[in-house]
Amino acid sequence: MEPISLPDTAKYDQLGLGDPVAHADVKLLEEGLIGPSIKITGDVKIPVATESHGFGTGQWDYALGLSLAKSIQTSFIFLDASYWKLGDLPGLDFHDPVVYSIALGHAFSEGRYALLLSLAGATQMQDNVDPPMQVNGAFNFKLSDRASVFFNLGAGLTESAPDFAGGVGWHIKM
């Protein structure tokens, strides 16, 4: 197999928005005294960013996963894993990865604020490229019983992960 050279379309001194991801989950089991809550998760990445700007592939991506969560007083742990079906770029096929994370957190002020530390990674998506892995920190602010906002920062631990990443988002219970 011959290596494929692709033009580098990204400008490394620019900011941009990537593709949005829609997420849904269904709780299979409520958290018990000893056992965790268990959810089946689904995600869809909507291709609004294109490869010509370096922020997306222009393809739809889909995921199906499992999520476990357990709280002990005001601390909590999350374990997540999802299988992703990735859209490919012309001339470049991706391996469909399992994406995983483990997160530890603690709530403050009766749950109004929370801090979270996590380790996230994936199985190999391209031959001869280390799988991505990064460490993250997040702050969550509860707006109401049904809505919250979060801010996160991350640092890559492998060459295929971004050196630094940041995000902001909101969570709304339907």
- The lowest-confidence range among 44-53, 57-66, 120-129, 158-167 is 44-53
Q: How confident is the model at residue 153 (pLDDT cuts 50, 70, 90)?
A: very high
What's the length of the chain? Answer: 174
Mean pLDDT rounded to a whole number for the chain: 89
Query: Considering the chain, what percentage of its residues have pLDDT values greater than 90?
Result: 68
Residue 114 to residues 77, 80, 109, Cα–Cα distance (Å): 12, 19, 9
pLDDT value for 92? 83
Domains of the chain: 21-172 (2.40.160)
Higher pLDDT, 162 or 18: 162
Q: What is the 3-class SS of 82-128, one letter each residue?
A: EEEECCCECCECCCCCEEEEEEEEEEEHHHCEEEEEEEEEECCCCCC
Q: How confident is the model at residue 161 (pLDDT cuts 50, 70, 90)?
A: very high
pLDDT value for 56? 76
